[in-house]
Homo-oligomer: A and B are copies of this chain.
Amino acid sequence: MRKIRLTVSYDGTDFSGFQIQPNRRTVQGVLQDALAKLTKAPVHVVGAGRTDAGVHAYGQVVHFETDSRIPVDKWPLALNAVLPPDIVVREAQEVDRAFHARYSATGKTYVYRVDNRRYPDVLARRYAYHVPHALDVERMRAAARHLLGRHDFTSFCSAKTTVKGDRIRHLRRADIVVRGQDIWFCFAADGFLYNMVRILVGTLLEVGQGMRDPEAIPAILAARDRAAAGKTAPPHGLVLWSVSYGDDAHNPVDFASIF
């Protein structure tokens, strides 16, 4: 058996999330179907992160094992030929048996797009959260600085989480980039809790609108209570940008490719 690692992008709009579910269109399910078609054998796909319904990916990473002898550089084109247009395989590599898309990951980067126009940009409506209110970017940046570093992020984790273990994560980047009337939030961490990026963005947007003070962030973290933080921003502005495997330095967000 060979082990193959794929870098996969998808438009989350028409998927019920990554994880396979009966009678739902999921990324994992559609990928497995395409791989089975190509290799004429059942294939089990493991993803780095289980993105929610409506969340997009530019650099999701998955792995699978196969007996197929298709050369590794032919996998993207061969898979893209059988995949629907809302999933695109960007890269394939053969990896050794120790590699695991989820357990080997050392970090993830997420990008969240806010459309701050008065009326929504119609061509971005599937990929950006429309917030017509005035947003004070400097206030949001001041708040974001308080989030950086190692913290217990329980306040920024959905109360519906079923994850066991600690909620301590190391947030390495919390950048806010303004381009025209779009505001991009960029978060990198060793890992993220359930809905964490969407709650971070929802809370920062409340700071940007003057509903909360940037200096309130330490107390929100200390509360370890979901009710202390802001609303959960909707899924369609969120993109799983990249997953890193001990090679973070080589995985900067290539903003040129999205602007």
Contacts and interface: CB of A to CB of B under 8 A. Distances in A.
Interface of A: 9-11, 56, 58, 76, 80, 85-90, 119-123, 125, 127, 179-182, 239, 254, 256-259
B180 A256 contact: yes
A25 to B, nearest CB: 15
Contacts of A119: 76, 80, 88-90
Nearest to A76: B119
Contacts of A121: 9, 88, 257
Q: Which of A76, A121, A181, A254 has the most CB of B within 10 A?
A: A121
A121 B58 CA distance: 8
A122 B9 contact: yes
Contact of A123 (B11, B181, B182): B11
Contacts of A56: 122-123
A88 B123 CA distance: 10
A181 to B, nearest CB: 6
Contacts of A87: 122
Contacts of A80: 119
Nearest to A239: B123
Given A76-B119, A80-B119, A11 B254 contact: no
Contact of A58 (B11, B58, B76, B123): B123
A258 B128 CA distance: 13
28 contacts: A9-B121, A9-B122, A9-B123, A10-B122, A11-B122, A11-B123, A11-B125, A56-B122, A56-B123, A58-B122, A76-B119, A80-B119, A85-B120, A86-B122, A87-B122, A88-B119, A88-B121, A88-B122, A88-B125, A89-B119, A90-B119, A123-B239, A179-B256, A180-B258, A180-B259, A181-B257, A182-B257, A259-B259
Contacts of A90: 119
A56 B125 CA distance: 13
A76 B122 CA distance: 14
